[in-house]
Amino acid sequence: MKLLNLFRRKKPSAPAGGEEFFKKKYQSFKNLLEANNAALEVMSHMEATLEGDYVFDPQFIRASTESILEKVQTIVQELNTLGDNRYAELIKVYQNIAAKIQNETAAAPSGVPISRVLPLSQVDRRLLLQVGGKIANLGEIKNRLQLPTPEGFVLTNEAYRLVLAENRLTEPLASFLKDLDINNMEQLTEKSRILREMLLQAKIPSSLVEEVNQQYDHLITALAYKPYLALRSSGLYEDLESSFAGQFLTVLNVPFDRFFPSYLEVLASQFTPTALVYLSQKRLLQRQLAMSVGCLAMVPARSSGVIFTAEPTGGRDDVLVIDAAWGLGPAVVDGSLTPDHFVLSKKPALDLLEQQISRKTKRWIAADKGIKEEAVPLEEDSQPALTSEELLTLGRYALQLEEYFGSPQDIEFSVDQQGQILLLQSRPLTLLRPHATGVLPPHLEERHPVLLDHGTVACFGVAAGPVFLVDHEADLSRFPDGAILVARHTTARYGAVLHKAAGMVIDIGSATSHLAILAREFKIPALVDTGKATQVLRPGQEITVDANQIKVYEGRLEEILQAPVAKTSLLAETPIYARLRRVLRWITPLRLTDPQLANFTPAACQTLHDITRFAHQIAVTEMFELGEQARQGEVHMVQLQTNIPLNLYIIDLGGGIRTDHRGRFVSPEDITSIPLRALWRGISHPEISWAGPIPIDVRGLYSVVSRSLTAAAPQHADFWARTLAIVSENYLNYSSRLGYHFATIDALVSDVRNDNYLNFRFKGGAADESRRGRRARFLGEVLTRLDLEVEITGDLVVARLWKYPRPLLEEKLDLLGRLMGCARQRDMVMADETTVEWYIQAFLEGNYRFAGEPGSVTPPDQD
């Protein structure tokens, strides 16, 4: 996949203003949200794979990383479209992280060679020390078993040594490795960077260029066309002393003019920090300076898949398991679709026992450079990816390989456009057998009542400790070691105490939220979406969180805490798991948590997760401010017919107003925008007054008069009466100026919970600074009680809500509409903090007319 293709396309920009301008911005925003959700899902899937006992291979890692890189690339592109390229710096940040991920998708050691370049037709296991385990096995398949494989050639370890010698790198590399301290991560990272840069900047000796050109010419003659190549690393100890299964860098679909840069990438990949640690632990550092690279003709696969010559998780050794999908291999393992699944008997004869044909809506194909994803035509997507004859042929090949190599095998294959099967790799299969399910102690719930028994698992595990209830961000400074964090909703800011927390229980949240991802990173047993944890659990109460069973018990359950965990370490300690951990270092950690900090910038993004967090926050801000750019006459506006003096104009981006209304006026019944409809319910609540004077004290009236005499003239003719809503079916950007205050709401409300958010901003007023500040505190405290994250600066109130389910978010918008009406002109009556507390309590009790409010005089209408 070419990571920068999208960045190189320049889209024509729409003129500022105009209906198409707003639609273009909104479409970019929707594309960004869709890519953001997809990226978070891939992150969650990769983390879950790392934490569980799953059988997976390097293809899974490659496909997953390519998928997430593509989605984050889309996020960066759409953010710059939305922000008129103000965030171009993020492109370079993304490129740097992507390069690190690509470097981490492989590593390698090797041996002592003789020849520099060999055709694959001359390779077998006798050349193991020259070509490494992977290519030696492939040579055996091709030349000993006479089974079909791609044509190609191999650059042996001697070619690698020649590159080192010609660039005078042999001694510097050995010197760097001699005193390597794998416990000093700062030193290790710096040495890794230097080592890789040495390789990437190396010059290819002219003699090696000539030999490679000759082998490529022979390949052209054999195939009768100029093939793109798949460059596959092959270490000396791979599939031998140590598994190294698929950990080394593979570059797919390489045009020959990019051969040597790609070759250097493969060579440099052995010096990633984790690879050096692995090699050191295996005591291979003094022998690791050897790397061969197989160069195979790229197969434009019609179908691809894997064969297991035993059932890896079910315990059946007498069957073959085949998974297949259309296109190249990533479609089988990237988690985006379910491949076709076939089970064949081995004895007494090969026979199809089971098959599950899935709908395969997309496939990976070779592109101009790299690979790309495309949709599968409807007439093909539900057809089997393999014919009955192909299944039996694959079965016969698999039995031959298992017998020849003497153990169960994990085999990769492709079927080209003409139906020819090509074997790509065969390596030992790691078998995982089922474990007995643990039994809970008897009478457990009699001694320890269940306090909660529903929710969503954010991170599996069991933990016990005292409840610490977080109501406000300030509470975090008092969070004790070993406590259970209990809160109303998820926010990434709570990540500041996760290293202290034993567990976490949240009322409202998503398993793909930032806090849930942080919980998995810190391995904190966590339940979200429990609904009522903050109501049921008491501060200081000792509880046990059993995320495995989705239960919270009263008291400390030593029986569960001390019970042995039925978890297999066999897979978790294998190199393929280590490789996934290395890749995830650049993907899932979240360090960019607080948008109010000075380091909330593109330059501070260190992982793909940081980029998604930054882009999502900034995209919402861009949409928040979009209403400011709307000027009447440039877009089609309709006015809402209502007795409420808001003079509300609406711009419909699609689905926000009944389609039969394109005239000048609409009624509230014509609103189909979900968030605007919810907000309007609150604004039009019968107990809310938007017109007429309110009682104020004399000093409050004087401050209004003083402010009106000294205030600058409005910049717009419609300053006193402009209220604008930009809407779609699920989106709302609401901007209202009434007198001297300005309120903006930006919200997306849909059935896709991860998309949903609510942003509110309120500033200004007619009274003096101290009274405006009191109204801001009134608004802020009420919004905090309504579960929003609130920040107050002077008379500015900013409040946010993220990832709430649609019904709850509609409820919050309804209440927000009521609150804006109740807050009208109240800055002029809030003479002291006591009155602020009175109004807070009155609103929360539903006293929207503020009956019984502190006495005062009645002024002329100001707002």
**How do residues 616-645 score in pLDDT, each as one tens digit?**
888 877 876 765 555 544 556 788 998 887
Query: How much of the chain exceeds pLDDT 90, in percent?
Result: 31
Supply the pLDDT for residue 605. Answer: 93
Residue 240 tokens read as: 């031998």
Residue 30 tokens read as: 């929707």
Residues 792-809 have pLDDT tens digits of 877 788 888 888 999 999
Residue 244 tokens read as: 């190294």
Specify the DSSP element, H or E, that contains 811.
Answer: helix 806-823
Burial grade of 386 (CB within 10 A; 0-12, 13-18, 19 or more): buried
Supply the pLDDT for residue 104. Answer: 63
Q: Which fold has domain 449-556?
A: Glucose Oxidase; domain 1 (3.50.30)
Three-state secondary-structure class, residue 463: strand
Supply the pLDDT for residue 108. Answer: 36
Residues 102-158 have pLDDT tens digits of 766 643 333 434 689 999 999 887 777 678 778 888 998 999 899 999 999 999 988
Supply the pLDDT for residue 684. Answer: 92
Supply the pLDDT for residue 735. Answer: 79
Supply the pLDDT for residue 493. Answer: 72
Residue 345 tokens read as: 């008997």
Higher per-residue pLDDT: 452 or 18:
452
Higher per-residue pLDDT: 261 or 2:
261
Given a cut of 50, is residue 699 above it in pLDDT?
Answer: no
Supply the pLDDT for residue 57. Answer: 60
Q: Before 348, cis peptide (omega within 30)? A: yes
Lowest mean pLDDT among 192-206, 303-317, 555-569: 555-569
Supply the pLDDT for residue 11. Answer: 45
Given a cut of 60, is residue 720 above it in pLDDT?
Answer: no
Higher per-residue pLDDT: 860 or 785:
785
Residues 188-227 have pLDDT tens digits of 778 778 888 988 999 999 999 999 999 999 999 999 999 9
User: Do 80 and 94 contact (CB within 8 A), yes or no?
Assistant: no
- In this prediction, residues 731-758 reach a mean pLDDT of 82
Higher per-residue pLDDT: 817 or 187:
817
Supply the pLDDT for residue 404. Answer: 81
Supply the pLDDT for residue 861. Answer: 45
Supply the pLDDT for residue 594. Answer: 75
Task: Report the alpha-carbon distance of residue 715 to residue 215 in Å, rounded.
Answer: 73
Maximum distance among all Cα pairs of the chain, rounded to whole angstroms: 101
Question: What are the CA-CA distances from residue 603 to residues 57, 80, 152, 285, 843 (Å)?
Answer: 33, 15, 43, 35, 43
How many CB atoms neighbour CB 805 within 10 A? 15
Supply the pLDDT for residue 317. Answer: 76
Q: Please report which confidence band the pLDDT of residue 706 belongs to, taking 50, 70 and 90 as the band edges.
A: very low
Question: What are the CA-CA distances from residue 738 to residues 572, 706, 763 (Å)?
Answer: 61, 18, 11
Supply the pLDDT for residue 239. Answer: 45
Supply the pLDDT for residue 61. Answer: 83
Supply the pLDDT for residue 360. Answer: 85
Per-residue DSSP letter, 552 = E
Higher per-residue pLDDT: 225 or 335:
225
- In this prediction, residues 759-768 reach a mean pLDDT of 76
- In this prediction, residues 419-433 reach a mean pLDDT of 77
Supply the pLDDT for residue 157. Answer: 86
Mean pLDDT of the chain: 79
Give the CATH class of 300-428.
Answer: alpha beta
The CATH architecture of the domain made up of 117-297 is 2-Layer Sandwich (3.30)
pTM exceeds 0.95, yes or no: no
Q: Please report which confidence band the pLDDT of residue 353 belongs to, taking 50, 70 and 90 as the band edges.
A: very high
Which of 228, 227, 272 lies closest to 248, judged by CA? 272
Supply the pLDDT for residue 511. Answer: 60
Residues 488-535 have pLDDT tens digits of 887 767 876 777 899 999 988 756 455 766 676 677 899 988 989 999
Q: Please report which confidence band the pLDDT of residue 18 belongs to, taking 50, 70 and 90 as the band edges.
A: low
Cα 470 to chain centroid, rounded: 26
Given a cut of 50, is residue 777 above it in pLDDT?
Answer: yes
Given a cut of 60, is residue 10 above it in pLDDT?
Answer: no
**Long-range contacts of range 382-387, CB-CB < 8 Å, 24 or more positions apart?**
382/357, 382/358, 383/357, 384/340, 384/355, 384/357, 385/303, 385/305, 385/324, 385/325, 385/326, 385/339, 385/340, 385/360, 386/303, 386/305, 386/322, 386/324, 386/340, 386/342, 386/415, 387/419
Helices (H), 406-513: 444-447
Q: Is the dihedral of CA 571, 574, 579, 582 positive or negative?
A: positive
